[in-house]
Structure 1
Amino acid sequence: MLLLALDTATPAVTVALHDGETVVAESNEVDARRHGELLLPAVDRVLGEAGVTLDAVTGIVVGVGPGPYTGLRVGIVTAATFAAALSVPVHGLCSLDGVAYAAGQAGLEGEFVVATDARRKEVYWARYADARTRVTEPAVDRPAEVAGQVAGLPAVGAGAVLYPDSFPGVRAELPQHQSAAALAALAAEKLRTGGEFLPDQPLYLRRPDAQVPANYKVVTPQ
């Protein structure tokens, strides 16, 4: 088994290789505006560090969000393209689940909440019974609307750090952005135990910022 994992649902452009037992190589860069520029060089860098070529990969793992429209589609389209070119399966995972799994690897136990920055003064969030078990569907809300549902819970992620008044249990020392290494480790665990994956379709949860104009200005030739 050699899994290539990638995620662009958060400001992190993150890529990792996992051999089914451990992370072989990884790359993490935080830049919310350069997902398209950074992702493929990161894949090349990770493959080079591991000393393998792309055709050695046996499966693709991708975070399917929730995340902002432009960044999220970069990772998903890239994952689908690699999978088609290599004739290997693509395994979709909720990006919030990757952050939760990383928090568990860092020592967080019990129930907690993951919140990432959704921009527009909103967060993407979900509650977890533990690092492997999500108990609510991913949602996008204003932090103040979430506060009552997460009161008393530890909170992980950049969204929680950004809005500490709504997430008073924020654990800023734990992972704030996605880690493809954690995502790959979670996928490897699911493959060993027969766990379920999501289709490689984006979880946008809301309409994109860019909209087609409702009325076009009509210009007639003179």
Structure 2
Amino acid sequence: MTLFAQASATGLEPTLERTLDLIGVFAFAISGGLLAVRKGFELVGVTSLALVTALGGGVVRDLLLGATPPTAFSEVLYLVVALAAAAVVFLGHWMITRTLNRAVLIFDAAGLGLFCVTGAIKASTLGASLVGAILIGVISAAGGGIIRDVLANEPPSLFHRSSTLYAIPAGLGATAVVVAWRNGWYSGGVAIGVAIAVFAVRLASMQFGWRAPMPLRAPFVAE
């Protein structure tokens, strides 16, 4: 049984969640493709990086939940959407980057917001614990970006000390979705609102330089 059939059985909104999932796939594919272009990759490289960025987080999510085969492999529309995004980047990357400053990060932020919602609700639907569902939401949101950065030899946004807030907005968004689902408050409006809020916080952190706290350093002692 797929996420959307299970969601229907539990009173959720499968059409909306499928749409959010596919929009997230498209956004992540754009971010991966744009980074590949920036790195000077050719057709196969651009397509490959777009695909792993778009589908990687969802595949990891499904494998952790035991939902096999992963949706990315069982539903061809996911592959079609990711390939379409790769084609858009390959043919029109100059237009995207000219219109949007930091386009890679902007599309990545959109995918982050969307996937933390769909990942958390899928985990909840499949019976994960509260903490487990939140972690799955974060992994789903951040997984594709981590794979993208590693393959492109970039410092992963999730770990690099100079990066602005990344996992924290996704974690807060996943928490809001799981709490709403467990208390019967979940709806399409909640899903969309949380995704937009995570996206907005991520963009604000990029704009204002918000960063996660660093470990306390021992005071310097002169010898």
TM class by smaller structure: under 0.3
Superposition TM-score, scaled by structure 1 size: 0.27
Larger relative strand fraction? 1
Structure with bigger helix share is 2
Calculate the TM-score normalised by the size of structure 2: 0.27
